[in-house]
Amino acid sequence: MVVLNRIYTRTGDKGDTALGSGARVSKAHLRIQAYGTVDETNAVLGIVRLHTSTEAFARLDAMLARIQNELFDLGADLCVPDTGEKLSYEPLRILPQQVDRLESEIDDLNQDLAPLRSFVLPGGHVAAAHLHLARTICRRAERLIVELKSHKGEHVSEGALTYINRLSDFLFVASRWANAKTSGDILWVPGKTR
């Protein structure tokens, strides 16, 4: 259980922070950058949800509410390196059923959409535009997690990497779904301005 009586602790004033395991690392550490970027994705989803609170978007809003919670699960997963060692507590990990649910929701939203014949330009409905922003931040988080995992001695759970990859796919389809409810996708026209 999380209890925050004080917001500032002064323990990070010299540029380091604690992982969930208790180990202290630089705030510039790749692991901190990875789960900080997951948090950034979550913040943009909060902005998206300002525009999905209507009845027309209720289905998507419920999905986004769950995903916001799962992004905290993902952050918790990333802040306790998965070394395989026995800990005094059970660390929170992303589970296969969380990825399966994302895939099911991607399929559910996508079945209402016309096949793509071109790349989609970010924009359209305000929710769709912010979903594209969330998608690009999510992809940055994924790149950081992949880089973290490639470093010797750094551990990332399989679920964490799979979840962030699938989430960016979900955000893309969700942006198209939001636009389909309103003005439609804005498609790239190669060489249009030459």
Q: Higher-confidence residue: 17 or 126?
A: 126
Dump pLDDT digits (tens) for 109-123: 999 899 988 999 999
Burial of 28 (0-12, 13-18, 19+ CB in 10 A): exposed
| DSSP reduced 3-state for 133 | helix
Q: Is the dihedral of CA 174, 47, 119, 55 positive or negative?
A: positive
**110 Cβ contact partners less than 8 Å away, ≥ 6 residues apart:** 173, 176, 177
Dump pLDDT digits (tens) for 29-40: 999 999 999 999
Question: Residue 12 pLDDT more than 70?
Answer: no
Question: Residue 1 pLDDT more than 70?
Answer: no
**63 Cβ contact partners less than 8 Å away, ≥ 6 residues apart:** 105, 170, 174
pLDDT value at position 157?
A: 92
Q: Average model confidence (pLDDT) for the chain? A: 92
Lowest mean pLDDT among 17-21, 103-107, 156-160, 180-184: 17-21
Distances (CA, A) of 100 to 104, 105, 110, 167: 6, 9, 15, 11
> Which of the four CATH numbers 3.30.360.10, 3.30.70.580, 3.40.50.2300, 1.20.1200.10 does domain 26-185 have?
1.20.1200.10
The DSSP bridge partners found for residue 186 are 121
Question: Residue 3 pLDDT more than 80?
Answer: no
User: For 41-47, what is the mean pLDDT?
Assistant: 98
pLDDT value at position 16?
A: 82
Distance (Å, rounded) from C-alpha 138 to C-alpha 167? Answer: 7
Distance (Å, rounded) from C-alpha 94 to C-alpha 178? Answer: 27
158: its two tokens = 């399989």
Beta strand 16-18 with 24-26 is: antiparallel
